[in-house]
Amino acid sequence: MASKVVDLRSDTVTKPSEAMRAAMAAAEVDDDVVGVDPTAQRFQAEMAALMGKEAALFVPSGTMGNLISVLVHCDVRGSEAILGDNSHIHVYENGGISTIGGVHPKTVRNNPDGTMDVDKIVAAIRHPDLHYPTTRLICLENTHGNSGGKCLSVEYTDKVGEIAKIHGLKLHIDGARIFNASVALGVPVDRLVKAADSVSVCLSKGLGAPVGSVIVGSKDFIEKAKILRKTLGGGMRQVGVLCAAAHVAIRDTVGKLADDHRKARALAEGLKKIKHITVDPASVETNMVFFDIVDPRISPDNLCQVLEQHNVLAMPVSSKSIRFVLHYQISDSDVEYALTCVEKAFEELLKGGARLEPLANGTTRSSYGH
């Protein structure tokens, strides 16, 4: 058994580095609810500049960041937002845009690459009619988690932005892993989101900060967002402690994302050699690897149970699929160890010698939205 746990459940499991912890301890702080925390102010200005937007706001989570962004753009109840049927906002955020904001989701089918067909987006835009909600927003997700971490190109994003502008709509990008997309595509992040009116960026996934996301947009957008953050209970006091860690994450970890992507592809290539698995290494664009189990005698739940006994943590995502997610705390030797354990787990299950126990690592299929 490994001396350490190889945690491939998600990039949300990353722990803050020693540099992050030191920055948190030394952070100059004040009351951010009244807008005077100096570390938060500096970090928000840094993120706005990095993303090519006028202003930024630190929020406790990506879910809150997306919710605030949608509600700012759809500030009249009964508004409608066009978004992918397999998007994080639609599937994994508890229906917040409708239950809290009164925003009607108009779904368009996501393609395997995470895009929505442009003509279908146009067709989903409502013409003024008293029978219909009013379309005010289009939402994209980059990278697209449910599509295996696929990247939306700058050309596609620009095209959707052009459609939004022609029809007087706003464009929001759920950019939880936007830096992964930027690195994988070789496109500066500010250029990648140039067409967007707002972007949410998660700091606690592959970047490794302990808590938080940031939303960026115009000054007017952020002023409205501050009010909604307070309404939702997301205003925190000495939040500079968290912003200090986030600053280190941006400074130190963005440059490591390409290595996460390399290790993900190596993992996929190794999985391809295992008899009972189907996986397409060419489909791995960033830090996620999805694979299917082809032997009907073995379920993803059972395989993950046995892997956990070998200190490899993974996430079942369907009745036949498992997801591995790479991050900066996974080494090349961890990848090799995980591959060895996958082979062993299949052997144990097929020989009938495996002890099957409930997963103890906090993983359920419903938690896949991480």
Task: Give domain status of residue 359, yes or no.
Answer: no
- Mean pLDDT of the 322-329 span: 97
Q: Which segment of 28-37, 108-117, 330-339, 358-367 scores lowest on mean pLDDT?
A: 358-367
Q: State CA 83 to chain mean position distance.
A: 15
Pair 162, 218 in one domain: yes
Pair 234, 275 in one domain: no
Pair 203, 265 in one domain: no
The domain that contains 66 carries what CATH number?
A: 3.40.640.10
* Residue 366: predicted pLDDT: 43
Task: Give domain status of residue 298, yes or no.
Answer: yes
pLDDT tens, position by position, 203-262: 999 999 999 999 999 999 999 999 999 999 999 999 999 999 999 999 999 999 999 999
Task: Give domain status of residue 72, yes or no.
Answer: yes
pLDDT at 297 over 50: yes
Percent helix, strand, coil in the chain, to 5, is 45, 15, 40
pLDDT tens, position by position, 62-83: 999 999 999 999 999 999 999 9
Average pLDDT, the chain: 95
Task: Give domain status of residue 361, yes or no.
Answer: no
Pair 268, 240 in one domain: no
Model pTM? Answer: 0.95
pLDDT at 289 over 60: yes
Task: Give domain status of residue 128, yes or no.
Answer: yes
Q: Which two tokens stand for residue 42?
A: 């500096």
Pair 173, 65 in one domain: yes
pLDDT tens, position by position, 168-196: 999 999 999 999 999 999 999 999 999 99
End position of a domain, from candidates 204, 236, 252: 252
Task: Give domain status of residue 166, yes or no.
Answer: yes
Between 358 and 137, the more confident residue is: 137
Pair 52, 142 in one domain: yes
Separate counts of helices (H) and strands (E) for the chain: 14, 13
Domain containing 207 equals 18-252
Q: Which two tokens stand for residue 227?
A: 């009010």
Pair 100, 123 in one domain: yes
Pair 125, 240 in one domain: yes
Strand order through the sheet with 55-59: 55-59, 213-217, 198-202, 170-174, 134-141, 79-84, 104-108
Pair 277, 221 in one domain: no
pLDDT tens, position by position, 115-160: 999 999 999 999 999 999 999 999 999 999 999 999 999 999 999 9
Q: Which two tokens stand for residue 12?
A: 């949300």
With beta carbons less than 8 A apart as the criterion, state whether 326 and 264 touch: yes
* Residue 368: predicted pLDDT: 47
Pair 168, 314 in one domain: no
Q: Read out DSSP for 249-304?
A: HHHHHGGGHHHHHHHHHHHHHHHHTSTTEE--GGG--SSEEEEEE--TT--HHHHH
End position of a domain, from candidates 203, 236, 252: 252
Task: Give domain status of residue 243, yes or no.
Answer: yes
Q: Which of 15, 369, 43 is nearest to 215 (CA)?
A: 43
The domain that contains 325 carries what CATH number?
A: 3.90.1150.10
- What CA–CA distance (Å, rounded) separates 297 from 282? 27
Find the Cα–Cα–Cα–Cα dihedral 125, 130, 133, 138, rounded to 10°: 20
Task: Give domain status of residue 234, yes or no.
Answer: yes
Number of structural domains in the chain: 2
Q: How long is the chain?
A: 370
322 beta partners: 291, 316
End position of a domain, from candidates 233, 252, 271: 252
Q: Which helix (H) or strand (E) holds 226?
A: helix 219-231
